[in-house]
Amino acid sequence: MKNLIIIAFITLGFTSFAQNDAKAETLLKEVSTKIKSYKNISLDFKYELNNLSENIKQETRGDVVIESEKYKLNILGVTRIFDGKTLYTISPEDEEVTISSDNTEDESTITPSKMLSFYEDGYAYKMDIVQTIKGRKIQYVKLNPIDTNAEIKHILLGIDATTKHIYNLIEVGKNGTKTTLTVNSFKTDQPISKTLFTFDKSKYSDYFINRID
């Protein structure tokens, strides 16, 4: 779970470095502008993790709705609701709700509200290959961490050349782990319930409530 969130929802703040490819920088700015123009975004995605040396292979699906800083994420049987101030992690299997405040000062805290725009800080980038996938032209941008001690070797960000939406993320770790997040459905400005990002305690009266701060 942690690995998925790290891949998909890395924090962001646009910084230009001299070694960046000008074409890649222009494309990423177009993506960022497009994403920020939407009132809300609804995604269905597939997540794959592979580590051949450890014989690990995992595949799952999830979905997330994002509106500004708020989000509702479903993945691996767990629901996470962030209402802008408080994060509620609901685990039906454990019959537990974990409640915590938003910890934005912690650089390791990755949130879906930053999804699809993680590349803007901490990476040098350049244009990579172009592939045609299911009739769509996907332009890849290769991102290398500025921090030489980072656990990530590099990330390939696949961008639909027509829509300027992110199609997939491929992260290659220094430990040989390859993780891929592919967006299956990308919808914007959908009508959503006013209570979508509201935690209703009455629905979980039998759950253990774990407040961690």
pLDDT in tens, 153-210: 998 999 999 999 989 989 898 888 998 889 999 999 999 999 999 999 999 999 999 9
Q: Quote the tokens at residue 83.
A: 């209402």
Domain housing 195: 22-211
pTM: 0.80
Q: 210: Cβ–Cβ under 8 A, 6 or more apart, which residues?
A: 96, 97, 98, 99
Average pLDDT over residues 143-148: 88
Is residue 2, in this structure, part of any structural domain at all?
Answer: no
User: CA 51 to CA 31: how far, in whole Å?
Assistant: 30
Residue 6 lies in a domain: no
Q: Which two tokens stand for residue 212?
A: 């961690």
Q: How many domains does the chain have?
A: 1
Question: What is the domain-level CATH number for residue 147?
Answer: 2.50.20.10
pLDDT tens digits for 52-63? 788 889 899 999
pLDDT tier, 113 (very low <50, low <70, confident <90, very high otherwise): low
